C-alpha cells in the first residue's frame, strides 16, 4: 500500500489546489496589492501610496468606524441568538416530547416544523429583503409588526422599524436570525440524533427534567457542533451586506445607524470610486475574521467525548 | 389570509406530557414551548404566503393594499415574469452551469478532502487551513482581479469561466466539511479493502465514496443552494450578454426594475417560480441533509 | 477623515494592452507612460459623416435599463445601422452599471457609449478626475443631423449642458430634460374647493384645512431624503436669489449660514413640528410615497417631472397631476428660480475603441427623429429644441420652465461625494424631527468647510 502514495496524493490535490490558488488565493493577493495604491477602480493607472489606506480607514468616523461597531455587535448577537434558538428548537423537535413505548421523540408537529423552519434558506436573499421591508413598514403602510403591536395596544415606532435609528440594526439582525435558524436546527438535530437514546432514558429513570437533560447531557455532547456553528455564523456576520443594502434607508441608514463593513466596502468600491480604500477595508475584515476563527478554535476546544 | 394570532397547539400534545414523568413543570413548559414553536412556524409561513398571494395581484393592488387578498387570480404576472423576466431561459442557463459546477465542486472537493483527511504528508495542515481560511474571504475583494484573470485566458463571459469560478469559491466550505466527514468514517473497512489488494484509486472510488454518501449529498444540497443564489460573481463575470444571465441575476433585475417602473406583480411571480425547484429539492432530500450533517462538527 | 482621492497626473501602471491592473506578477512595478495615447476625434467637412466614422467598425453601447427602459436605444441603433449597415452594434442593457462597466474601464477596454445612470452609476467625479472620459466639444461643434448649417450645440435647450460640465469641459451629455417641482392633484383641490397656494405662507395657511379633511398635507420619499434636496435649495434660492445656492456649490465660507438657507431649513423643520407630514413618511420609499399621493392620502409631494409617467400603472384614472413649483416665501428675490436641466448622463470613454462612432451615435440621439423617439417611447421631455412631444412629463416641464435665466441645478451633490453622503441623512433627520434647523446648518457647514480645506479633493466651479 505504500507504493504509489505520493503520486496518488499529488494527483488528487493538484487540480483542486491549483484551481483554488489561481482563482481564490491569487486574486486575494492582488487585492492586497491594490490596497497599497490610490486606485479609483475605473481607470488603469494608479500610484503606490504605502499603508495610507490602512491608516486612514481607522480615522474614518463617517463610515468605517460605525460599520466596525455594528459588525462587532452583529458578530456577538447573531451567533448567540441563532445558536440558542437552534438548540432550543432542535431539542424540542427531537427530544422535547415524552416517550411513548419507551422511545424519546420530538413534540407533536415536529416533522412539520422542521420543514417550515428551513424554508427561509431556499429563498433568495433579494426576496427576503423585499419581504421583511414590508413586515417592518410603518403602520399605515401595511407594516405587519407595527400593525400587530398597535392592535394589541402596545406602542410601536411611528415610522416603522427600519427608519428608526434605535431599531434598525436589531431589525436587520432579526432577519438574519430568522433565515439562519432553520439551518442550525437541522444541523443540531443531526448531531443530537447521534447521541444514544439510552443515555436520556437512563436520565429520565433517574428523574431528570428537561432542563437538566438539556444542560447536563445534550449541550456538553453537542459542544463540537456548537463551536462549528459559531464559526459559520461569525463568517455570516462578517459578510452581512445584501440585507442592509436592500432594506435600510440609504443602504446603511438612517444616518449610518445600520452601516456594516461589507456595505462600506461596496460603497467605497462602487459608489465613491475608491477601490483601493475598499480593498484595504476588505483585507482588514479578512484578517479579523481569520484571527477570530483561530482564537475561538484555540479556546473553545474541549475534551472529546466518545460514545 | 393568516394573521399573527397565536395558534393553539393540537389537543393531543398536553395529554402526551401529562402521561410522562415530570407532570407540572412539563405541562407549563410544554405549553409555552409549543406556543413558541408554532409562533415561529407562523413567522415563516405568513411572509411566504404573502409572497405567493402578492404574485397573483396586480401592481396597483400590491401598492395600495399590500396585505389584502387578491381580487382575482392575475396569472398575467407569471406570464410577464416568464417572458419579460426571462425566468424560463435563465432557469435553463442556471441549470446548464450548475450541472457542471456542482459536479465539479463535489468531485474536486471530495478528492482533496479525502486525501487531507486520510493521508499524512508534508504540507497537509497548511493546505487544509489554506482552504479553511478561504471561507472568510470577502468575495468583493476578488471581483476586479478575477475579471482580469479570466479575461487574460479568454474565459470572461463564458460559462466555462463561471463554472470554474463557482468551483473554486465553493471548495473551501466543501473541503472543510468533507474532511471532517472522511475522518469520521471507520478505518476497518478501508483496511479490509487494502488487504484485498485494492489500490488507492479503487479504495477511494469503490469503498470510501459510497461510504461517504450521506455527507456528499448534504454538501451537494448546500452547494446547489449556494450557487443557485450566487449573484455578484455572475453579474461581474457574465455582464456582457444579458441573455446568458443566471436566475439570481434575473430576479435581482426584476427587483431593481421594480424600483424604476414598479412591476411588482412580475417580481413576486418570478420569485415564486424561482422558489419552486429549490423547495422541491429540499423536501425530497430533507432526510439525507439531516443525516449528512452529522459529521459537520470540527474534530 | 479620508484624505486619498483620485488625482490627476497618474502614471499609467501597466499600459493599455499589458496585463492591466495588478498583473499576475505581483512585483509588477510602475512603468511610465501616458494616458493620452487615445486618438482624438476632429470634426471634418463632411456633414454626413463629420467625425469620419469607419463604416465597418463595431459599436459598443451600454444602456442603463431603469425607468426609461432600453427600447429607445434599440431604435437609435437602427438609425445608426441605416447610415452604417456594416457596423455591428453590441447593445447591453443593465441596471448594474458600476459592477459591469467599472472593470472594463480598469482594463482599458470600456464601452464606446455609456449611459452612466441609476443608483449604481460610476461616480462622475471619479471618472472625470481619472481622465477616463472624452470631452464632448467635437460633438457640440459638429453640424447637427437635421440641418448642417446649425451646430449640435445650437439645437439644445438652454442649461442642459450644465450638469455634464466639469470646470468648463463637457464630459457628459445629459439626455433627458427634467425639472424638480411640487405636485398636487387638481381634481382633489377642485373637489375640496382648495386654492392651490402660490406662496409658502399660503401653503401653511392651507395645511390645517387639508388636515381637517382627513388628508395629510405633505409626503415624500422618506427612505431617500435626496428628494428633499431641491426643495430646500430652491426654497432658499428663490428667497435670496440664485447666488445664495451658488455660494454653497462654490464651498464659500458660511454659505450655509446665509439667512435664506436658514429660513428654508426652519420652514422644512416646521412642516414636521406642525404635524403636516403624513405619519410614517420617513419609513417609506419613493414608490410608497408616490402611491400614497395617488391615493390622496397626502396633498403635496416634491418630485421630478417624470412623476406622472412613473406612476402611470398605479394612479387612478381621474388623477390630475399638476406641478406648482416650490411655493416661495413672500418677499422672495427670485420667485421663478427652478431646478431644471439635463439628467441621465451619456458619456464617451476616452479609451473607447470606436470614438468617432460614439460621437456619431450621440449626434443621432440628438437629431429631431432621435429625440422624438426617446420622448415618445419613455414619455419624458427632451433636451433638443423644437421637438413636439405629447406626454404629461414634457408638458409639465415646459410649463415649469419659462425663463431660461431662472434655470439652475445645484451641483455640490454631484461634485463632492462626501457632501452628497452628508446632505442626505441630514435632510432625513431635519424632516423627521431628529435634528433642528440650527443643527442641520451646522452639520452641512462643517462638511462644506472640511471639503474646502481638503486639497486632495479636486474642486469644481460654476462657469462665469
| Distance of alpha carbon A37 from alpha carbon C11, whole angstroms | 12
The two domains C48-176+341-402 and C179-340+414-453 share their CATH topology (first three levels equal): yes
Q: Report the pLDDT averaged over residues B104-129.
A: 92
Q: Is-contact B25 A209, C-beta < 8 A? A: yes
Indicate the average pLDDT of chain C: 84
Long-range contacts of C208-213 (CB under 8 A, 24+ apart): C210/C299, C211/C275, C211/C276
Contacts across the A-B interface (CB distance below 8 Å): 261
Q: Compare CB distances from A24 to B108, B114, B134 and report the shortest one's residue.
A: B134
What per-residue confidence (pLDDT) applies to A98?
A: 59
| Distance of alpha carbon C227 from alpha carbon C260, whole angstroms | 20
What per-residue confidence (pLDDT) applies to C458?
A: 83
Lowest-pLDDT range of A290-299, C367-376, C452-461: A290-299
Q: How many CB atoms lie within 10 A of CB C44?
A: 12
Q: What CATH number matches the domain at C179-340+414-453, 3.30.365.10, 3.40.640.10, 3.40.190.10, 3.30.465.10?
A: 3.40.190.10
B157 has a chain C CB within 8 A of its CB: no
A291 has a chain B CB within 8 A of its CB: no
What per-residue confidence (pLDDT) applies to B106?
A: 94
What per-residue confidence (pLDDT) applies to B263?
A: 65
Lowest-pLDDT range of C98-102, C209-213, C219-223: C98-102
For C110-138, how does the pLDDT look when each residue is reduced to its tens digit (9 = 90+)?
A: 999 999 988 788 888 888 888 899 999 98
What per-residue confidence (pLDDT) applies to B294?
A: 55
Query: Residue B134 half-sphere exposure, CB side, CA atoms within 13 Å?
Result: 28
- Tell me how close the Cα of A157 comes to any Cα of chain C, in angstroms: 9
C286 has a chain B CB within 8 A of its CB: yes
- Which residue on chain C is closest to B145 by alpha carbon? C22
Residues in A 34-63 with any Cβ partner in B closer than 8 A = 34, 41
- Which chain C residues are within 8 Å of B64, Cβ to Cβ? 291, 295, 314
Residues in B 108-137 with any Cβ partner in A closer than 8 A = 108-109, 111-112, 114-115, 119, 121, 127, 130-137
Report residue C204 as a C-alpha cell.
401653511
What per-residue confidence (pLDDT) applies to B2?
A: 37
Query: What are the residues whose beta carbons fall under 8 Å from the beta carbon of A202, sequence distance 6 or more?
Result: none
- Checking if the pLDDT of B296 tops 60, the result is no
In the numeric block, the cell 417631472 is attached to C305
Q: Read off the pLDDT band of B11 (50, 70, 90).
A: very low
- Ordered alpha helix ranges (H), B119-238: 124-134, 139-152, 159-184, 187-195, 200-202, 209-211, 213-228, 232-237
Q: Which residue has the higher pLDDT, C12 or B282?
A: B282
% of residues, chain A, pLDDT over 90: 16
Averaging pLDDT over each range in A43-57, A64-78, A86-100, B11-25, which range is the top one?
A: A64-78
Lowest-pLDDT range of B63-67, B176-180, C80-84, C339-343: B63-67
| Distance of alpha carbon B177 from alpha carbon B173, whole angstroms | 6
Q: What is the CA radius of gyration of chain B?
A: 24
CB contact (8 A) between residue C224 and residue A249: yes
pTM: 0.82
| Distance of alpha carbon C380 from alpha carbon C389, whole angstroms | 8
- Which residue on chain A is closest to B5 by alpha carbon? A148
CA B169 centroid distance within chain:
14
| Distance of alpha carbon B81 from alpha carbon B58, whole angstroms | 13
CB contact (8 A) between residue A271 and residue C123: yes
- Which chain C residues are within 8 Å of B256, Cβ to Cβ? 66, 95-96
- Tell me how close the Cα of C18 comes to any Cα of chain A, in angstroms: 10
Q: Compare CB distances from B119 to A9, A25, A227 and report the shortest one's residue.
A: A9
Q: Read off the pLDDT band of B29 (50, 70, 90).
A: low
- Checking if the pLDDT of C22 tops 60, the result is no
How many residues appear in chain B? Answer: 299
DSSP letter string, A65-113:
HHHHHHHHHHHHHHHHHHHHHHHHHHHHHHTSSPPBTTB--PPTTHHHH
| Distance of alpha carbon C64 from alpha carbon C176, whole angstroms | 13
C58 has a chain B CB within 8 A of its CB: no
Q: How many CB atoms lie within 10 A of CB B106?
A: 19
Q: Read off the pLDDT band of A208 (50, 70, 90).
A: confident
CB contact (8 A) between residue C22 and residue B63: no
What per-residue confidence (pLDDT) applies to C9?
A: 28
β-pair type (C298-304, C381-382): unpaired
C288 has a chain B CB within 8 A of its CB: yes
Query: What are the residues whose beta carbons fall under 8 Å from the beta carbon of C195, sequence distance 6 or more?
Result: C189, C202, C206
Q: How many CB atoms lie within 10 A of CB A47?
A: 16
What per-residue confidence (pLDDT) applies to B86?
A: 77
Angle made by CA atoms A23, A27, A32, in degrees to the nearest 5: 160
Q: Report the pLDDT averaged over residues B111-118.
A: 92
B265 has a chain A CB within 8 A of its CB: no
Neighbours of chain A (3+ CB pairs under 8 A): B, C
What per-residue confidence (pLDDT) applies to A103?
A: 58
Q: What CATH number matches the domain at A54-300, 1.10.3720.10, 3.40.50.720, 1.10.645.10, 3.40.225.10?
A: 1.10.3720.10
| Closest to C378 measured CA to CA, from C427, C272, C306 | C306
| Distance of alpha carbon C424 from alpha carbon C226, whole angstroms | 5
Q: Report the pLDDT averaged over residues B207-223.
A: 82
Q: Read off the pLDDT band of C328 (50, 70, 90).
A: very high
Check residue B200 and report its DSSP letter: H
| Distance of alpha carbon B105 from alpha carbon A19, whole angstroms | 11
Q: How many CB atoms lie within 10 A of CB A200?
A: 18
Q: Which residue has the higher pLDDT, C98 or B20?
A: C98
β-pair type (C113-115, C340-347): antiparallel
Q: What is the CA radius of gyration of chain C?
A: 23
- Checking if the pLDDT of B297 tops 50, the result is no
Q: Is-contact A163 C222, C-beta < 8 A? A: yes
Q: Is-contact C10 A46, C-beta < 8 A? A: yes
A45 has a chain C CB within 8 A of its CB: yes
Check residue A48 and report its DSSP letter: B
What per-residue confidence (pLDDT) applies to A228?
A: 78
Taking the domains of chain A in order of start, what are their residue ranges?
1-26, 54-300
Measured between alpha carbons, how far is residue C324 from residues B36, C202, C204, C315, C336 in Å? 54, 13, 15, 19, 11
| Distance of alpha carbon C306 from alpha carbon C161, whole angstroms | 19
% of residues, chain C, pLDDT over 90: 41
Q: Is-contact C53 C84, C-beta < 8 A? A: yes
- Which residue on chain A is closest to B117 by alpha carbon? A9
In the numeric block, the cell 482624438 is attached to C40
- Which chain C residues are within 8 Å of B145, Cβ to Cβ? 21-22
Residue B229, classed as helix, strand or coil, is coil
What per-residue confidence (pLDDT) applies to B225?
A: 77
β-pair type (C298-304, C173-185): antiparallel
- Checking if the pLDDT of A182 tops 90, the result is no
| Distance of alpha carbon C193 from alpha carbon A168, whole angstroms | 42
- Which residue on chain B is closest to A93 by alpha carbon? B37
B66 has a chain C CB within 8 A of its CB: no
CB contact (8 A) between residue B59 and residue C314: yes
| Distance of alpha carbon A113 from alpha carbon B44, whole angstroms | 10
For C438-447, how does the pLDDT look when each residue is reduced to its tens digit (9 = 90+)?
A: 999 999 999 9
- Checking if the pLDDT of C13 tops 80, the result is no
A44 has a chain C CB within 8 A of its CB: yes
Encode burial over A147-179: b for 16+ CB neighbours within 10 A, e otherwise: bbbeeeeeebbbbbbbbbbebbbebbbbbbbbb
- Checking if the pLDDT of C37 tops 50, the result is no
- Which residue on chain B is closest to C26 by alpha carbon? B145
Q: Which residue has the higher pLDDT, A208 or A132?
A: A132
| Closest to B234 measured CA to CA, from B242, B250, B223, B245 | B245
Query: What are the residues whose beta carbons fall under 8 Å from the beta carbon of A287, sequence distance 6 or more?
Result: none
- Which chain C residues are within 8 Å of A139, Cβ to Cβ? 279-280
B247: part of which helix (H) or strand (E)?
A: helix B247-261
- Which chain B residues are within 8 Å of A203, Cβ to Cβ? none
B259 has a chain C CB within 8 A of its CB: yes
Taking the domains of chain C in order of start, what are their residue ranges?
48-176+341-402, 179-340+414-453
Report residue C36 as a C-alpha cell.
493620452
Residues in C 435-454 with any Cβ partner in A closer than 8 A = none
Report residue A66 as a C-alpha cell.
460605525
For C401-432, how does the pLDDT look when each residue is reduced to its tens digit (9 = 90+)?
A: 877 788 888 888 888 888 888 899 999 999 98
For C135-157, how does the pLDDT look when each residue is reduced to its tens digit (9 = 90+)?
A: 999 899 989 898 888 898 999 98
Q: Report the pLDDT averaged over residues A11-15.
A: 91
Q: What CATH number matches the domain at C48-176+341-402, 3.40.190.10, 3.30.200.20, 3.40.1260.10, 2.40.420.20?
A: 3.40.190.10
What per-residue confidence (pLDDT) applies to B291?
A: 64
- Checking if the pLDDT of C435 tops 60, the result is yes
| Distance of alpha carbon C365 from alpha carbon C371, whole angstroms | 6
Q: How many CB atoms lie within 10 A of CB B254?
A: 25
Amino acid at each position: 500500500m505504500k507504493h504509489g502514495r505520493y503520486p496518488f496524493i499529488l494527483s488528487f490535490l493538484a487540480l483542486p489546489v491549483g484551481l483554488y490558488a489561481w482563482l481564490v488565493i491569487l486574486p486575494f493577493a492582488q487585492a492586497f496589492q491594490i490596497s497599497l495604491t490610490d486606485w479609483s477602480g475605473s481607470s488603469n493607472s494608479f500610484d503606490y501610496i504605502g499603508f495610507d489606506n490602512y491608516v486612514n480607514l481607522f480615522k474614518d468616523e463617517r463610515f468605517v468606524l460605525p460599520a466596525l461597531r455594528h459588525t462587532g455587535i452583529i458578530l456577538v448577537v447573531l451567533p448567540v441568538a441563532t445558536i440558542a434558538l437552534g438548540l432550543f428548537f432542535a431539542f424540542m423537535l427531537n427530544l422535547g416530547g415524552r416517550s411513548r413505548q419507551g422511545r424519546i421523540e420530538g413534540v407533536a408537529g415536529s416533522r412539520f416544523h422542521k420543514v417550515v423552519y428551513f424554508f427561509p434558506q431556499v429563498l433568495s436573499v433579494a426576496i427576503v429583503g423585499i419581504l421583511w421591508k414590508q413586515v417592518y413598514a410603518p403602520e399605515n403602510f401595511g407594516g405587519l409588526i407595527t400593525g400587530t403591536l398597535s392592535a394589541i395596544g402596545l406602542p410601536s415606532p411611528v415610522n416603522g422599524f427600519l427608519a428608526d435609528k434605535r431599531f434598525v440594526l436589531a431589525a436587520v439582525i432579526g432577519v438574519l436570525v430568522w433565515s439562519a435558524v432553520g439551518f442550525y436546527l437541522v444541523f443540531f438535530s443531526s448531531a443530537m440524533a447521534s447521541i444514544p437514546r439510552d443515555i436520556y432514558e437512563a436520565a429520565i429513570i433517574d428523574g431528570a427534567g428537561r432542563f437538566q437533560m438539556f444542560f447536563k447531557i445534550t449541550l456538553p455532547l453537542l459542544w463540537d457542533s456548537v463551536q462549528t456553528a459559531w464559526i459559520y455564523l461569525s463568517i455570516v456576520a462578517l459578510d452581512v451586506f445584501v440585507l442592509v443594502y436592500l432594506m435600510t434607508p440609504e443602504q446603511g441608514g438612517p444616518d449610518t445607524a445600520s452601516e456594516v463593513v461589507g456595505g462600506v466596502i461596496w460603497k467605497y468600491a462602487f459608489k465613491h470610486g475608491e477601490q483601493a480604500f475598499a480593498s484595504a477595508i476588505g483585507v482588514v475584515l479578512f484578517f479579523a475574521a481569520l484571527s477570530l476563527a483561530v482564537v475561538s478554535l484555540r479556546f473553545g476546544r474541549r475534551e472529546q467525548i466518545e460514545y | 389570509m393568516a394573521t399573527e394570532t397565536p395558534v393553539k397547539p393540537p389537543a393531543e400534545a398536553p395529554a402526551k406530557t401529562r402521561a410522562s414523568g415530570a407532570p407540572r413543570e412539563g405541562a407549563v413548559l410544554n405549553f409555552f414551548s409549543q406556543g413558541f414553536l408554532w409562533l415561529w412556524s407562523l413567522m415563516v409561513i405568513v411572509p411566504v404566503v404573502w409572497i405567493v398571494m402578492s404574485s397573483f395581484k396586480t401592481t396597483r393592488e400590491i401598492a395600495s393594499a399590500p396585505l389584502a387578498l387578491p381580487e382575482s387570480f392575475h396569472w398575467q404576472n407569471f406570464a410577464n415574469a416568464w417572458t419579460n423576466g426571462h425566468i424560463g431561459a435563465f432557469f435553463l442557463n442556471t441549470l446548464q452551469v450548475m450541472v457542471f459546477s456542482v459536479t465539479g465542486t463535489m468531485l474536486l472537493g471530495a478528492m482533496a478532502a479525502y486525501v487531507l483527511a486520510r493521508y499524512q504528508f508534508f504540507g497537509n495542515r497548511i493546505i487544509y487551513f489554506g482552504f479553511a481560511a478561504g471561507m472568510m474571504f470577502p468575495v468583493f475583494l476578488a471581483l476586479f482581479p478575477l475579471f482580469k484573470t479570466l479575461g487574460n485566458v479568454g474565459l470572461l463571459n463564458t460559462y466555462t469561466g463561471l463554472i470554474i469560478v463557482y468551483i473554486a469559491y465553493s471548495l473551501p466550505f466543501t473541503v472543510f466539511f468533507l474532511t471532517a466527514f472522511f475522518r469520521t468514517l471507520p478505518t476497518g473497512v478501508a483496511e479490509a479493502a487494502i488487504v484485498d489488494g485494492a489500490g488507492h484509486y479503487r479504495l477511494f472510488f469503490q469503498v470510501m465514496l459510497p461510504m461517504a454518501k450521506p455527507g456528499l449529498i448534504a454538501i451537494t444540497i448546500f452547494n446547489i443552494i449556494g450557487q443557485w443564489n450566487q449573484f455578484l460573481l455572475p453579474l461581474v463575470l457574465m455582464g456582457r450578454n444579458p441573455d446568458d444571465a443566471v436566475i439570481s441575476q434575473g430576479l435581482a433585475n426584476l427587483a431593481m426594475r421594480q424600483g424604476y417602473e414598479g412591476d411588482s406583480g412580475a417580481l413576486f411571480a418570478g420569485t415564486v417560480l424561482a422558489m419552486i425547484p429549490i423547495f422541491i429539492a429540499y423536501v425530497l432530500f430533507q432526510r439525507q441533509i439531516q443525516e449528512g450533517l452529522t459529521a459537520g462538527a470540527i474534530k | 477623515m479620508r484624505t486619498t482621492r483620485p488625482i490627476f497626473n497618474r502614471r499609467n501602471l501597466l499600459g493599455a494592452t499589458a496585463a492591466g491592473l495588478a498583473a499576475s506578477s505581483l512585483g509588477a512595478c510602475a512603468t511610465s507612460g501616458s494616458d493620452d495615447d487615445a486618438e482624438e476625434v476632429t470634426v471634418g467637412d463632411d456633414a454626413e459623416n463629420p467625425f469620419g466614422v469607419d463604416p465597418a467598425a463595431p459599436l459598443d453601447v451600454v444602456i442603463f435599463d431603469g425607468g426609461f427602459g432600453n427600447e429607445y436605444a434599440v431604435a437609435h441603433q437602427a438609425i445608426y445601422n441605416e447610415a452604417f449597415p456594416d457596423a455591428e452594434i453590441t447593445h447591453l442593457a443593465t441596471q448594474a452599471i458600476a459592477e459591469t462597466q467599472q472593470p472594463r474601464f480598469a482594463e482599458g477596454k470600456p464601452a464606446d457609449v455609456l449611459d452612466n445612470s441609476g443608483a449604481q452609476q460610476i461616480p462622475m467625479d471619479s471618472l472625470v478626475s481619472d481622465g477616463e472620459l472624452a470631452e464632448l466639444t467635437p460633438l457640440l461643434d459638429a453640424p447637427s443631423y437635421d440641418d448642417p448649417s446649425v451646430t449640435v450645440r445650437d439645437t439644445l435647450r438652454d442649461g442642459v449642458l450644465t450638469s455634464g460640465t466639469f470646470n468648463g469641459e463637457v464630459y457628459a451629455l445629459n439626455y433627458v430634460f427634467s425639472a424638480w417641482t411640487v405636485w398636487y392633484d387638481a381634481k382633489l383641490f377642485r373637489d375640496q374647493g382648495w386654492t392651490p397656494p402660490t406662496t409658502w405662507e399660503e401653503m401653511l395657511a392651507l395645511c390645517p384645512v387639508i388636515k381637517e379633511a382627513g388628508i395629510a398635507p405633505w409626503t415624500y420619499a422618506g427612505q431617500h431624503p435626496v428628494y428633499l434636496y431641491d426643495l430646500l435649495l430652491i426654497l432658499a434660492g428663490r428667497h435670496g436669489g440664485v447666488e445664495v445656492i451658488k455660494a454653497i456649490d462654490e464651498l464659500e465660507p458660511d454659505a450655509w449660514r446665509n439667512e435664506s438657507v436658514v429660513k428654508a431649513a426652519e420652514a422644512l423643520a416646521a412642516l414636521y413640528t406642525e404635524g403636516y407630514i403624513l405619519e410614517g413618511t420617513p419609513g417609506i420609499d419613493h414608490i410608497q410615497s408616490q402611491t400614497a399621493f395617488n391615493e390622496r392620502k397626502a396633498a403635496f409631494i416634491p418630485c421630478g417631472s417624470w412623476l406622472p409617467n412613473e406612476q402611470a400603472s398605479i394612479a387612478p384614472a381621474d388623477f390630475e397631476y399638476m406641478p406648482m413649483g416650490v411655493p416661495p416665501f413672500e418677499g422672495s428675490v427670485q420667485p421663478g428660480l427652478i431646478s431644471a436641466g439635463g439628467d441621465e448622463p451619456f458619456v464617451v470613454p476616452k479609451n473607447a475603441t470606436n470614438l468617432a462612432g460614439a460621437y456619431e451615435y450621440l449626434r443621432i440621439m440628438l437629431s429631431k427623429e432621435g429625440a422624438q423617439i426617446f420622448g415618445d417611447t419613455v414619455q419624458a421631455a427632451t433636451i433638443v429644441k423644437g421637438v413636439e412631444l405629447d406626454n404629461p412629463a414634457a408638458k409639465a416641464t415646459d410649463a415649469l420652465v419659462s425663463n431660461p435665466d431662472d434655470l439652475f441645478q445645484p451641483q455640490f451633490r454631484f461634485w463632492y461625494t462626501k457632501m452628497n453622503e452628508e446632505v442626505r441623512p441630514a435632510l432625513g433627520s431635519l424632516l423627521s424631527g431628529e435634528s433642528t434647523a440650527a443643527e442641520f446648518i451646522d452639520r452641512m457647514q462643517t462638511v462644506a468647510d472640511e471639503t474646502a480645506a481638503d486639497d486632495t479633493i479636486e474642486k469644481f466651479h460654476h462657469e462665469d
